[in-house]
Amino acid sequence: MLRLIAGLEDTSSGHINIDGNDARVLPPAKRGLAMAFQSYALYPHMSVRKNIAFPMRMAGIDEATQKAKIDAAATALNLTDYLDRKLGQLSGGQRQRVAIGRAIVREPSAFLFDEPLSNLDAALRVGMRLEIMEHHKKLQTTMVYVTHDQVEAMTMADKIVVLQAGGIKQVGSPLELYHAPRNKFVAGFIGSPKMNLIEGAEAAKHNATTIGIRPEHLGVSKTEGLWKGRVGVAEHLGSDTFIHVHDTGLMDMMTVRITGDIEARHGDTIYLTPDMDQLHRFDAQGLRIA
């Protein structure tokens, strides 16, 4: 989809409007968009400075303006010391910054990001995520950001469009998607750990084919509760504890998220009680029942 918006692929049906104009007939360069690729797609034979300057050079902007813009972008992206280096001498995060720099200097009407952080290691990803959001706030420019990482989607987006196999599953703010997923796919995709989806008799009690309850909306007790199960693996994160519960008779493995540290040994019997207000109901087609 990003490639269609960018104009790198031809549109067979539908409309693409950029700033109110039909963009379908425009070549990529004329759409006023900037794209950051997963592979960075920088020009390996050029220095950092030349990479950032390239779009301006193509636009025929004079040298002095180019230099001013490069310096501004480099300062914003902490690249000032690297401007004359070759790309081979940069780390992954720095390369991604160069790619963003190249996008910024064009002053586009929208940025397109194609999984820009997926090639970075976890720590760097969080850092770059914050940086991109920081730039977003400063530039106040629309960003279309494609990601498979639901944490990135939740933390960065004003509006999320969940796509599955080319079809739109839901459009909404992160919290809308979290609190009222329109179907099972969105319910399972948004939130970590994943929502527990229960089918069968227990669901029928609530007049639904499937009911969903998020791990954080389950109460835990060692003595009493609605559902009974056996503790499997417990993951202690310090701030939270994830308990994987077996033998509930409801689904293969249920996940519970408890705030703080709780003692749960492998094999212990455990009782779970869902917060009924937070129960999600889905029909046979997997659609939400209001």
Partner 1 sequence: MARAITTQKKVMWTALAWAFGLTMFFPILWTFRTSFKTEAAAISDPPVWFFFDWTLENYVDVQARSNYPKALMNSIIISVGSTFLGILIAVPAAWSMAFVPGRKTKDVLLWMLSTKMLPAVGVLYPLVLLAKWLGVMDSRILLVVVLMLINLPIIVWMLYTYFREIPGEILEAARMDGAGLKAEILYVLTPMALPGIASTVLLNIILAWNEAFWTILLTTVNAAPLTSFSAPEGLFYAKLSAASMMAIAPILVMGWFSQKQLVRGLTFGAVK
Which parts of this chain interact with partner 1 (CB under 8 A)?
6, 8, 27-29, 33-35, 37, 39, 41-46, 54-55, 58-59, 102, 106
Residue appearing with tokens 């300057």: 53
Nearer to partner 1 among residue 100 and residue 186 (C-beta)? 100
246 has which bridge partners?
230
Nearer to partner 1 among residue 58 and residue 233 (C-beta)? 58
Quick check: 107 and 73 in contact, CB under 8 A?
Answer: no
Quick check: 195 and 212 in contact, CB under 8 A?
Answer: yes
**Shortest spacing between CB 37 and partner 1, in angstroms:** 5
Nearer to partner 1 among residue 109 and residue 207 (C-beta)? 109
Q: How many CB atoms lie within 10 A of CB 82?
A: 20
Nearer to partner 1 among residue 108 and residue 274 (C-beta)? 108
Quick check: 196 and 251 in contact, CB under 8 A?
Answer: yes
Please give the structure tokens belonging to residue 132.
Answer: 């991109």
**Shortest spacing between CB 91 and partner 1, in angstroms:** 19
**Shortest spacing between CB 21 and partner 1, in angstroms:** 18
Nearer to partner 1 among residue 106 and residue 182 (C-beta)? 106
**Shortest spacing between CB 42 and partner 1, in angstroms:** 7
**Shortest spacing between CB 144 and partner 1, in angstroms:** 13
**Shortest spacing between CB 125 and partner 1, in angstroms:** 20
Nearer to partner 1 among residue 115 and residue 268 (C-beta)? 115
